Amino acid sequence: MTIHKQLIGLSLLVLVGCQSISETPVDQSTSTDTFDPFVSVQDYTGEGYTLDGGKETQPIADENLKKIEETVKRFFVEEYKTEVIVHNVVGALNAATVFVESVGEPHFYTYAVVPIDVEHLKVQSEEVYSQNDTVENAIRTGIYGMAYDKEFTELNDFIQEVAPELGVAGITEEALANVKGNGYSTSFMYTSMGDFALEGLNEKYLENPSFKASEWISFLEENKVNSEGVLITIQLFMEDETAKPNEDALESIVTYIEQSDDLPVGLYSVYINDNKINKRTANGNDEHQIKRAHPYDIRKE
């Protein structure tokens, strides 16, 4: 498997909102054939998001929210020297998936997993864990966003400024916090950063969790970042509920990225969906999507 495919796999793991927390697919069946899981992106806050096995574990999680929250906060401090805010707890197969946001900088969204013994209705807080490099990836992206805050802010501000005239929108702040867990991210974009992008970054953070932005800039400049290891994904939706993805909007964003000389190193992709987002998976409809992405992503060195 190529390095790029490995990183895309990590990115997709985050993108789908940790649906792979269990090994079976999310059950999309309902008691009625007319059920439509898609809602307008402007109305979506994360309500309706589901994971396999959640029907059995959600009630147990709800009864133990305080314990779960305290467990996860302690876990992040002890394992990652990072304070977090707990935004949402979603039942999963024999577990609860806990979506969090870091306090201060580096800033990122991610999640942890608290196992649940369904038979004995017990939260196994002593076995809390993080999954598949997810938190480590989030920390790396948070550091990257911290070091290149000006550049990322300019990109985000550009999208926000042109969004009305292009007829596009991002996800809501509530959805971003409650169900995405996409590392360093905004309503318009998210990032993934493989450990091969800059070896030793997580170890450096654990040694120096209070590093200022200027210190991270120096570290990144001294150690060349591998652009293959950094994915910056812009994910937009049409603002109008009946509009199809707009090629002109896609081209406008792509052209800005291609012509900009100030963007952080990485591979940039742009996706534009129709207005709908699946409330169960927090994803757009792939069948109603246009994109500029791998193998045609935009490389910035």
Question: Structure tokens of 247?
Answer: 């090629």
Give the pLDDT of residue 22: 36
Q: Considering the chain, what is the average pLDDT of its residues?
A: 92
What is the greatest pairwise CA distance in the chain?
59
Which tens digits make up the pLDDT trace of 91-120? 999 999 999 999 999 999 999 999 999 999
pLDDT tens for each residue of 1-58: 454 555 545 544 444 445 434 333 344 444 445 678 999 999 999 999 999 999 999 9
**β-pairing, 230-238 with 168-169?**
antiparallel
CA–CA separation, 189 and 235 (whole Å): 6
pTM attached to this predicted model: 0.89
Angle at which helix 213-222 crosses helix 134-147, to 10 degrees, equals: 100
Element (H, E) at 79: helix 65-80
**Sheet containing 122-123: order of strands:** 84-92, 95-102, 109-117, 122-123
Strand 266-273 and strand 230-238: the pairing is: parallel
State mean pLDDT over 275-286. 96
Confidence category of residue 138, pLDDT binned at 50, 70, 90: very high
In the chain, where do the E strands start and end?
38-40, 84-92, 95-102, 109-117, 122-123, 168-169, 189-193, 230-238, 266-273, 276-278, 283-284, 289-292, 298-300
Q: Is 23 exposed, middle or buried (0-12, 13-18, 19+ CB in 10 A)?
A: exposed
Residue found under tokens 């013994």: 117
| pLDDT score of 267 more than 90 | yes
| Sheet containing strand 283-284, strands side by side | 38-40, 276-278, 283-284
**pLDDT classification of 285: cutoffs 50, 70, 90:** very high
| Model pLDDT for residues 216-263, shown as the tens digit of each residue | 999 999 999 999 999 999 999 999 999 999 999 999 999 999 999 999
User: What pLDDT, on the 0 to 100 scale, is given for residue 36?
Assistant: 87
pLDDT of residue 35: 73
